[in-house]
Structure 1
Amino acid sequence: MATLSLNYVLLIAIPILVVLTLVITFLLVVLLKRKSKNSSSSSSSSNSTSSTSFRKSIIDKSQISNAIDIGYSPADVRSCIYAGGKLIYSAALKERKRGGQVFTYKELELATDGFSPENVIGNGGFGVVFRGTLRDGTEAAIKVLHREGKQGEREFRMEVDLLSRLHSCYLVALLGYCADQQHRLLVFEFLPNGSLQGHLHPAAPCKQHRRRAPLDWCTRLRIALDCARGLEFLHERMNPAVIHRDFKCSNILLDHNFSAKVSDFGMAKTASDKVNGQVMTRVLGTSGYVAPEYASTGRLTTKSDVYSYGVVLLELLTGRVPVDSTRPPGEHALVSWALPRLTNREKVMEMVDPTLQGQYSKKDLIQVAAIAAVCVQSEAEYRPLITDVVQSLIPLVKSQDSMSSRYHHQIVVPVS
């Protein structure tokens, strides 16, 4: 009976022990798997951190290397690369590199033969411009800025900042600059045909330009369009818009093909997005080119540049300077003299630059006169956007170019 009872107990106990063993084994396997997964994750995280740290180290070294190559000081490097203790991809370095090279004063002194008077190609209130040859053989226009007061420093910083960001075939390119101790110099691409002023209002002949032929009508139209496109880039492609504030003939430079580029951005301002693009600022500019509302109130807008553009257009039409006290009474100021005549066809013909010798399209002349008339309106709201000026000039230039092309491709058959 006892044996039967023991067998009965074993029969019940053995399956229970087997089940418990299986359960415990299963639980141990699960625990081991979890532990293994956590360990792997921790290891991966550690590797990722070290990898990130390694990449960070690489970025630091490459960016610092690039920065040193283009002339940043160690302090500049840290301020450009780090923001709030976090590493960022520094677009500033790319802009600086793209914006131009940093030169030493000695390099530019050698490029201009010790700033020889024979290499002077421009002289004005801003400073002196020298023609120079850089170490790689590139010809350049090197502007030595006057350092009188804070204005010169502001103009230098404005040109470097703007031209490092502005890239257009209608704007003079900045090749580099020098901020060596007290010296402030700007290095621009060299444009061999000088300024528009030198062609329209030639002074005493110099060695670089002993004698210049008058600009023909077709060339004047193309210059007018190029200038308008330069201003269009500043007004319409930039956000906020850039107002040149000193647009005039002497700041329009001509390349070997007489294509025009706008230069000199030392007095430029960025328009405000808040007050209809207006900027309240002290009045600066050149007499005869300054818009009336800007001169009287200090309110500067893109329409102020349009007025200055209209004055340049009048110069291209008439060959006259904006202000000429040697002329008879009533003719001293170009705009006030020209405005009543621009809408009268007969009087427009009388206004034309005599050096053109009648070689122009009368139809095109009247259209250009109409554009000039609206650009120099005394009320800014009546002036067009510079984009509208561009669209008005394009068909005139295309027409002239096609006529010129037909003329040059004519086959002359000798009469027997």
Structure 2
Amino acid sequence: MGCFGFLKTKPKSRKERGKSGSEALAVSATTTSSSNYETSRSHDSTGGKQTSKSSVSTSSQPSISAMFEEKAGVLRVFELAELRSATNDFNRTLKIGEGGFGSVYKGFIKPLDEKSGRITVAVKTLNQRSLQVGGYLNISGEKSIVLAMEGKKGIVRRGSGHKQWLAEVQFLGVLEHPNLVKLIGYCSDEDERGIQRLLVYEYMPNKSLEYHLFNRAAPPLPWNVRLKIALGAAEGLAFLHEGLELQLVDYIYGILMQHSFSLKFSSGQVIYRDFKTSNVLLDIDFKPKLSDFGLAREGPAGDNTHVSTAVVGTYGYAAPDYIETGHLTTKSDVWSFGVVLYELLTGRRSLDRNRPTNEQKLLDWVKQFPIESKRFNMIMDPKLRYQYSLKTAREVAKLANSCLVKHAKERPKMSEIVQVIKQAVEMTEIASGGKVEAKEENSAVADLDKGKRPESSNC
């Protein structure tokens, strides 16, 4: 089996990982200044037993790759033959997705204990071109795979598929959150066609947010469901941006297997870099989970304010400041989230070449309907049939606008966005008494603009 570099060695047992982790910390502790290392002793109520607590504060946190080396054994390693069998030799009838990277198939695998029934999974393949379509347009207007910044020109970079595959294994092999898709395992094997790289995820039966917003075959998403999807996606991004510190502490505890240490790290960050409706998957209860971490990057280290990187992502969702400078921050994700909020409101794609010229770019089009004007609800998705709270819709639009301000530093944090959406969900539930209904002047406006509304986007 052709497993990639750092997985070729035999995974350590939990006991071995704990030992090596303790040794690594011991070395780190000796190089830490005394002001950052404190030990205190206390007596229990009997006055006899002593306990000690140590606190280590350091300016750097373990990298995702370092954490993954310790946790690699948690992921299941599949043989190619096993995944062929799981997908009926990658049968077309089981294909549930396709893109520049390859295809995704529904599959059925046996659990490791073999005591329970088969598990339904999603198997993602990487095609032989080892390419990932980024979706940007270069200067000449042609579709590019990935753009790198070199002056004002876009440079297509090939061979990035394997790198993105590794990134996805590393990030999802380490990060755990209810709003992140679960990676079950991976396969890096060879057959007559060459190296085969595959990923195995939990199966998400309700497809993607993109499908439910833009596909004619999908039933309309109710207003309250849209808000809850926005909330879950926001919580997933907030975890990536601001919630990793706790997971890093848990990670160190797991290595040490001791409870006498209290470790503090500078907050770790992961920048998702490709937030869009197609990457928000929905489980059986329509709970959203972020998927596809191939373009994700660790946030800036130390005193750095951004990560300088090649510009990749999807046109229509990427922040303009990131496109112009190549400077990547968590606020780049915030911009993308603002775009998706408007897609949830309108039922329109961020970029739709099939519409009239003045309606093709969503963010330009919505400016014609100011939030506080009576014309505002002209932007709302007709498929909602006025079954929404107009007051709440206005609040969501205001939130979207705050995400889309020109200066990145002025955009809110994802944790702040979470709180606003929580309030919107509560407002909707209280106002409707459990049933989402049109509010305020919806009925009157419905009569006034009947037959004058723009058509729904059902691409």
Pairing partner for 1:343 from 366, 371, 376: 371
Higher strand share: 2
Pairing partner for 2:218 from 206, 212, 234: 212
How many corresponding residue pairs? 328
Gaps of 5+ in 1: 1-70, 204-210, 409-416
Pairing partner for 1:171 from 158, 173, 180: 180
Instruction: Kindly report the root-mean-square deviation, in angstroms, between the aligned alpha carbons of the 2 structures.
Output: 2.7
CA-to-aligned-CA distance 1:128-160 (integer Å, 9 cap, x gap): 000001123111011001242531110111011
Residue 342 of structure 1 contacts residue 370 of structure 1 at CA under 8 Å; is this kept in 2?
Answer: no
Residue 102 of structure 2 contacts residue 127 of structure 2 at CA under 8 Å; is this kept in 1?
Answer: yes
Distance 1:342 1:302 in 2: 28
Distance 1:113 1:364 in 2: 47
Deviates more, 1:180-189 or 1:335-344: 335-344
Kindly state the Cα deviation for residue 91 of structure 1 after the two structures are TM-superposed: 7.3
Work out whether 1:139 is the aligned partner of 2:167.
no
2:444: which partner in 1? none
Residue 342 of structure 1 contacts residue 369 of structure 1 at CA under 8 Å; is this kept in 2?
Answer: no
Distance 1:333 1:92 in 2: 40
Work out whether 1:189 is the aligned partner of 2:186.
no
| Distance verdict in 2 for CA 1:165–1:147, change over 3 Å | same
| Distance verdict in 2 for CA 1:244–1:407, change over 3 Å | closer
- % identity of equivalent residues: 40
Secondary structure class of the residue paired with 1:306: helix
| Distance verdict in 2 for CA 1:87–1:168, change over 3 Å | closer
Distance 1:183 1:285 in 2: 24
CA-to-aligned-CA distance 1:347-383 (integer Å, 9 cap, x gap): 3211000000000001101100100111122221221
1:199: which partner in 2? 212
Distance 1:72 1:294 in 2: 33
Residue 147 of structure 1 contacts residue 153 of structure 1 at CA under 8 Å; is this kept in 2?
Answer: no
Residue 307 of structure 2 contacts residue 328 of structure 2 at CA under 8 Å; is this kept in 1?
Answer: yes
Kindly state the Cα deviation for residue 299 of structure 1 after the two structures are TM-superposed: 0.8
Pairing partner for 2:227 from 221, 226, 240: 221
Secondary structure class of the residue paired with 2:160: helix
| Distance verdict in 2 for CA 1:401–1:126, change over 3 Å | farther
| Distance verdict in 2 for CA 1:350–1:177, change over 3 Å | same
Kindly state the Cα deviation for residue 342 of structure 1 after the two structures are TM-superposed: 4.5
Gaps of 5+ in 2: 1-5, 27-65, 112-117, 131-158, 245-266, 437-459
Work out whether 1:373 is the aligned partner of 2:401.
yes
Give the AA of the match of 1:309: F
2:317: which partner in 1? 289
Residue 429 of structure 2 contacts residue 435 of structure 2 at CA under 8 Å; is this kept in 1?
Answer: no
| Distance verdict in 2 for CA 1:148–1:400, change over 3 Å | same
| Distance verdict in 2 for CA 1:332–1:72, change over 3 Å | closer
Work out whether 1:231 is the aligned partner of 2:237.
yes
Give the AA of the match of 1:217: W
Higher helix share: 1
Q: How does 1:145-156 map to 2 (within 5 A)?
A: 145-149=126-130, 150-156=159-165
| Distance verdict in 2 for CA 1:87–1:336, change over 3 Å | closer
Pairing partner for 1:110 from 60, 85, 108: 85
Distance 1:135 1:114 in 2: 16
Q: Which has the larger radius of gyration?
A: 1
TM-score by structure 1 length? 0.73
2:392: which partner in 1? 364
Kindly state the Cα deviation for residue 405 of structure 1 after the two structures are TM-superposed: 6.1
2:335: which partner in 1? 307
Deviates more, 1:141-150 or 1:223-232: 141-150
| Distance verdict in 2 for CA 1:74–1:332, change over 3 Å | closer
